[in-house]
Amino acid sequence: MKSIFTILILINFNVAIAQWTQKNSGTTHDLYDIHFPTADTGYAVGYYGTILKTNDAGNTWTILNSNTFSDLYAVYFLNSNQGFVVGDSGIFTTTNGGNTWNQQVIPTSNPLRDVEFINHQIGFCVGHSGTILKTTDGGNSWVIKPNDISQPMINFKSIIFPIPDTGYIAGHSLWDFLKTTDGGETWNRIQIDTNPGNPVIFESVYFTSAHTGYIGGWYGAVLIKTLDGGNSWINKDSSGQAQIYSIYFPTSAVGYTTGWYSTVLKTSDSGS
């Protein structure tokens, strides 16, 4: 569960969206991501080292001591006890359900923006200046993986692995993204043929299968879909006004996006 649910839980929606109710998070700091390793236990992270935890499915939240004052942008838990948060100061990890957090030694000083695990051993972090980190030992150690667009101004924002061998990365872009088909050992840049001349910031990528996926972004409004692993893309924003921050599909058919002005979009037909 990616950052979409941070916005859904914590923003005050208008009466027209009555199925959503605001919950008291216990903080006024901006929150950027959320993850629930179980139905009842969840974690949210955000500005100035904020980490929140719930044990009752999001009804109440407790502020944890993160051991950092740097902004945290993503959180991922392998189970109720072992988890990772990433942000401007790298990676912090816990093995006791967030009671204590320790900063890891990693081979980069670049800020990180997302973290994703394929299984309990193999995981990835992405971030500024084209940074891609991979672990094969459950997050104990990390190595840098090369890619086609490791440039100072390229900041990766989002990573997803729909299957263990195939993964996708999106971020600051001239209408391109990265794809791997060998479990993240090598990454190749793929150009998107939709409005390639207009600058855009890709904020979120989500694939429901190896071939079907979505990318959303802002600056240049974008919400696009692929059915062939990123070889071709379909524009799903006919208005040209979608400013998207996050995409999440709990099933292959049902999906949600969030974006500017408290916007929430839902599809029940795989984005059609």
The answer to whether the CB of 78 falls within 8 A of the CB of 41 is: no
The pair of three-digit structure tokens given for residue 153, joined into one six-digit string: 């101004």
The answer to whether the CB of 181 falls within 8 A of the CB of 187 is: no
The answer to whether the CB of 2 falls within 8 A of the CB of 248 is: yes
Cα separation of the two ends of the chain? 22
pLDDT at 206 (0 to 100):
97
pLDDT at 7 (0 to 100):
44
Exposure string (b/e) for 187-219, b if CB count within 10 Å is 16 or more? beebebeeeeeeebbbbbbbbbeeebbbbbbbe
Please list the residue range(s) of the chain that carry CATH number 2.40.10: 1-104
Please list the residue range(s) of the chain that carry CATH number 2.130.10.10: 121-128+145-272
How do residues 208-242 score in pLDDT, each as one tens digit?
999 999 999 998 788 999 999 999 999 998 777 88
How do residues 168-195 score in pLDDT, each as one tens digit?
999 887 788 999 999 999 999 898 875 5
Residue closest to 213 by CA, chosen among 21, 204, 150, 132: 204
Contacts (Cβ under 8 Å, ≥6 apart) of 15? none
Regions in the chain scoring below 70 on pLDDT: 1-18, 148-153, 194-197
Class of domain 121-128+145-272: mainly beta
Q: What dihedral do alpha carbons 44, 178, 110, 124 form, nearest 10°?
A: 50
| Locus of tokens 């990676």 | 91
The answer to whether the CB of 226 falls within 8 A of the CB of 185 is: no
DSSP track, 158-190: EEE-SSSS-EEEEEEESSEEEEESSTTSS-EEE
The pair of three-digit structure tokens given for residue 243, joined into one six-digit string: 């400013």
pLDDT at 154 (0 to 100):
82
pLDDT at 19 (0 to 100):
79
**Positive/negative CA dihedral, 187, 193, 199, 203:** negative
Q: pTM for the complete prediction?
A: 0.89
Amino acid at 214: Y
Q: What is the CATH number of domain 1-104?
A: 2.40.10
pLDDT at 111 (0 to 100):
96
- Give me the phi and psi of 67, to 5 degrees please: 70, 20
